[in-house]
Structure 1
Amino acid sequence: MATPPSAAKFAELLRAEGLTVVEVGDWEDHNRNHVGPWGPVHGVMIHHTVTRGSATTVDICRHGYAELPGPLCHGVITKDGRVHLVGYGRANHAGLGDDDVLQAVIAERALPADDEANTDGNRHFYGFECENLGDGEDPWPGVQKEAIEKVAAAICRHHGWGAESAIRHLDWQPGKVDPRGIDWVAMRARIAKRLGSAPPKSTPPPATTVVSLKRLLAAARSNPSQPGTPVSYKGVATVEAALVDEGLLERPYSDGHWGTKTTPAYAAWQRRCGYRGDDADGIPGPDSLRRLGLKHGFKTED
């Protein structure tokens, strides 16, 4: 069981690792602790932001959205390698993930496939958002990757963790793909080297996700209106994550519920596929879903 250090100590740890730290506003007291506890902490989670521009990215991660209040992480790692501290305590970054993954992180063993969303990750992980469009083409500058390495190593060193305690959002929550474009096996090896330990066993690629059209249609037609209601089918999160990457759905609405924002986003995807009129109604069909899966790495079935 690991207790987070004080905010002042946290900033000190990062600077001691050689990082340039920017303290943003009242970050030490900016958190979501009133909605639930933070801690015990068990790992460091890395994300990408799907945003462009450091100032805009930091502002979004600090303040969040009406539907997803900030902070959206503890620190923002911009492309110039600086770490902008925007909050400390519980932050809206990890969401619900797989309890088997959490147990593997605690035991520092190979991660299983994340196929459930049943555990509060905001409570148990430090979160760092990295400025990147997440399209697989936006570059990751060397100074930014070095900052990711140093951030993870600083926190792991403080808690006595190994590099196995540094994970990606895609390792935790079904349907997520971030941080896209980083060789995570190589990154974990860099973190381990900085910690003076042997590289962890290679992280296996996530099992290929299969989205059932039948179950997706049932979820879309049930249209739950409240984000707090149970997710009826995890394939919704996979499709929503792809729509976010396409720039058709705002990230806060990628919550596993096929709500009123997902339908028009999917309709926009159907129009990209060449459908018009009633054929672009925002309800998935076999062809449009297959095309989305081919582009974003999931398979489909009837």
Structure 2
Amino acid sequence: MATPLTADTLLAALRAEGVTVQEHPGWRTHNRNHKGAWGPVNGIVVHHTVSTGTTGSVALCRDGYDELPGPLCHGVIDKAGTVHLIGHGRTNHAGLGDGDVLDAVAAETSLPAPRRNDTDGNAHFYGFECVNLGNGSDPWPDAQLDAIERASAALCRAHGWQAASVIGHKEWTNTKVDPRGFTMESMRSRVAARLSGAPGQGGGSTPPPAPDAPRHQPFPGAGFFTAAPNSPIVTAMGRRLVAEGCSAYSVGPGPQWSEADRRSYARWQQKLGFRGADADGWPGRTSWDALKVPYSG
């Protein structure tokens, strides 16, 4: 179990995984928290919308209806592969399900068949609604499946979870059949393959071949920067910050970590949506992965 990601951290994690994100007005505070707990969180539930069209599906999931007020999920994944963020916090997506399933997800072990509906899933799961009629014949485009994979992997990576933390609604409760049109076993295989590589790289049904060297510099750890290194990694980072319009440099960037590097990195964190102590200029894994610093050895 884990504390839910903040809205800023969730957004940064999705972007670091290469997800195309559209933020809808008010999504950061649109939730049902007044109706019950949000967290600790244990996993991700994938749904289909039983609807067509992006605009109408997003509106339905954002607003809900009389019997089930919105938001009905955290993000809507359309057929083009865009994740539309519409809520953050408790949302009306999972409903009641089997506590034994929750225990299995938390332990990342094999799922039992859901038999009881005795546990509040809205408190414990992130939810993605995917635009599809759910009739078994409505297609699932490659871009949409890729987005489901990436979005799921992004949250797993942010929490340190494995692919076993990603389930379908029909695996949570015996009252649902979604998602229909692909198997959750195949999606978990895709997520596992993606998690075996660096953020934003690889994925799919099989792991990609290993390159001679990674394209992007792995996060060297927070202690690397507090030790004021003199390293080509710092130069490469600075150049990426300049390219992102976050420069606070009067000269450089260069290999020696400096206050200008820290101020520039703070601008990058703020660009990602971090605030306060989370935008102090000291690199963290999520913001570093999103920056995509070229590999320097």
TM-score range, shorter chain: 0.5 to 0.7
Q: Distance in 1 between matches of 2:5 and 2:143?
A: 26
Find the counterpart in structure 1 of residue 117 from structure 2: 117
With structure 1 as the length reference, what TM-score do the two structures score? 0.65
- Paired with 1:126 and 1:21, the residues of 2 have a C-alpha distance of 16
Q: Is it true that 1:164 corresponds to 2:164 in the alignment?
A: yes
Q: CA–CA distance in 1 between the matches of 2:183 and 2:96?
A: 24
Q: Work out whether 1:75 is the aligned partner of 2:78.
A: no
Aligned length: 198
Structure 2 CA distance, aligned partners of 1:173 and 1:93?
12
Flag structure 1 segments of 5+ consecutive residues without an equivalent. 200-302
| Aligned position for 1:3 | 3
What letter matches 1:38 in structure 2?
W
User: Over aligned residue pairs, what C-alpha RMSD do you find?
Assistant: 1.2
Superposition deviation, residue 167 in structure 1:
0.2
Q: How far, CA to CA, are the matches of 2:145 and 2:126 in structure 1?
A: 17
TM-score normalised by L of structure 2: 0.66
Shift of 1:6: 1.1
Q: For residue 62 of structure 2, what is the aligned residue in structure 1?
A: 62
Q: Which amino acid aligns with 1:177?
A: V
The 3-state SS of whatever aligns with 1:187 is helix
Q: Which amino acid aligns with 1:56?
A: G
Runs of 5+ in structure 2 lacking a partner? Answer: 198-202, 204-297
| SS at structure 2 position matched to 1:46 | strand
2:288 match: none
SS at match of 2:167: strand
SS at match of 1:31: coil
Aligned to 1:137: 137
Structure 1 segments (4+ residues) deviating >2 Å: none
Question: What amino acid is aligned across from residue 69 of structure 2 in structure 1?
Answer: P
Identity value in percent: 60
Pairwise CA distance, 1:185:
1.6
Match in the other structure for 1:209: none
User: Structure 1 residue 128: deviation in Å?
Assistant: 0.3
User: Which whole-Å CA distance do the structure 1 matches of 2:87 and 2:185 have between them?
Assistant: 28
Indicate the SS of the match to 1:71: coil
User: Does the residue aligned with 2:68 lie in a helix, a strand or coil?
Assistant: coil
Partner of 1:38: 38
| Structure 2 CA distance for aligned equivalents of residues 150 and 15 of structure 1 | 10
Q: Which residue of 1 aligns with 2:293?
A: none
- Kindly provide the amino acid, as one letter, of the partner of residue 153 in structure 2: A
Distance 2:183 2:134 in 1: 13
Identify the structure with bigger relative contact order (alpha carbons < 8 Å, sequence gap 6+): 2
The structure with the largest alpha-carbon Rg is: 2
- Report the CA distance between 1:175 and its aligned residue: 2.1
**Alpha-carbon deviation of 1:66?**
1.1
* Aligned match of 1:151: 151
* Equivalent residue number for residue 188 of structure 2: 188
SS at match of 2:127: strand
Deviation per residue, 1:133-153 (Å, 9 max, x gap) = 000000000000000000110
Alignment partners' CA distance in 2, 1:189 and 1:174: 23
Q: Which amino acid aligns with 2:194?
A: R
